[in-house]
């Protein structure tokens, strides 16, 4: 269903924003200036650039899917903490795993997602509004949760939450939840059986070859 596909879309572009419904972009940016350095300010800047670029380069991206994939991958790498998220997805299977194996899995999962869902961004409504409901600290100092809603014209608001942590000096997303459906939990459940039978390297190889496909639209 569409909200499940939004999980993949939100993951792919790291979409989040601080926005006041009914005000212009300049006003949003002015209001956000007081939050310089915060997770909310960071995701506002990124989402603004992403949505503007998708709209202005739609014809170019439609004609050349390679350029679209390059753009989406670049934004994904900017906003998403791939290796940390991969460890969360691996769960118990990742305990004691080497950084190299985790990176193999993280890269294979990301590339598989981009290949499957990147093109769907061309159908994405870049004129939607985003409303942030709250920004709260996660337990045990793990980071923050930015709770937001995607507002579609004539449609119900879709809750989207972003879990973020400091990676070095930069805030990055490590989990996205759409209507309570978590990226980390979705793929942890999907890959559990495979990881019981195969090594992390083997699962990464299956993802890379296309024998195993990351499905963000499962129930």
List residues bridging with 92 in a β-sheet: none
Domain boundaries, the chain: 2-209
Q: What is the pLDDT of residue 19?
A: 26
What are the C-alpha distances in Å from 78 to residues 14, 54, 127, 167? 9, 16, 22, 11
Cα 82 to Cα 194: distance, rounded to the nearest angstrom? 20
What are the C-alpha distances in Å from 89 to residues 15, 48, 75, 163, 215? 20, 28, 21, 14, 13
Question: Taking the chain (219 residues) in consecutive chunks of 10 residues, what is each chunk's mean pLDDT?
Answer: 50 38 35 54 70 84 88 79 94 95 93 76 67 86 86 76 87 86 89 96 95 73
3-state DSSP assignment of residue 216? coil
- Topology of domain 2-209 in CATH is Nuclear Transport Factor 2; Chain: A, (3.10.450)
Rg (CA), the chain: 17
Burial (CB count <10 Å: 0-12, 13-18, 19+), residue 176: buried
Cα 208 to Cα 50: distance, rounded to the nearest angstrom? 26
Nearest to 130 by CA among 6, 1, 5, 4: 6
**pTM beyond 0.85:** no
């Amino acid at each position: 269903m569409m909200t499940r596909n939004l999980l993949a879309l939100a993951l792919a572009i790291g979409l989040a924003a601080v926005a006041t419904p009914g005000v212009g972009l300049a006003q949003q940016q002015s209001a956000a200036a007081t939050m310089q350095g915060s997770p909310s300010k960071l995701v506002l800047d990124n989402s603004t650039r992403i949505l503007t670029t998708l709209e202005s380069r739609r014809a170019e991206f439609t004609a050349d899917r390679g350029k679209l994939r390059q753009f989406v991958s670049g934004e994904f790498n900017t906003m998403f903490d791939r290796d940390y998220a991969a460890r969360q997805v691996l769960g118990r299977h990742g305990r004691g795993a080497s950084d190299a194996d985790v990176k193999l899995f993280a890269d294979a999962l990301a590339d598989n997602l981009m290949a499957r869902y990147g093109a769907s961004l061309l159908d994405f409504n870049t004129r939607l509004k985003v409303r942030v409901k709250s920004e709260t600290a996660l337990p045990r100092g793990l980071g923050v949760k930015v709770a937001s809603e995607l507002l579609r014209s004539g449609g119900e608001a879709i809750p989207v939450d972003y879990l973020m942590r400091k990676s070095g000096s930069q805030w990055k997303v490590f989990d996205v939840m759409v209507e309570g459906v978590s990226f980390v939990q979705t793929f942890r459940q999907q890959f559990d059986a495979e990881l019981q039978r195969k090594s992390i390297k083997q699962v990464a190889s299956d993802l890379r070859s296309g024998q195993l496909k990351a499905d963000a639209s499962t129930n």
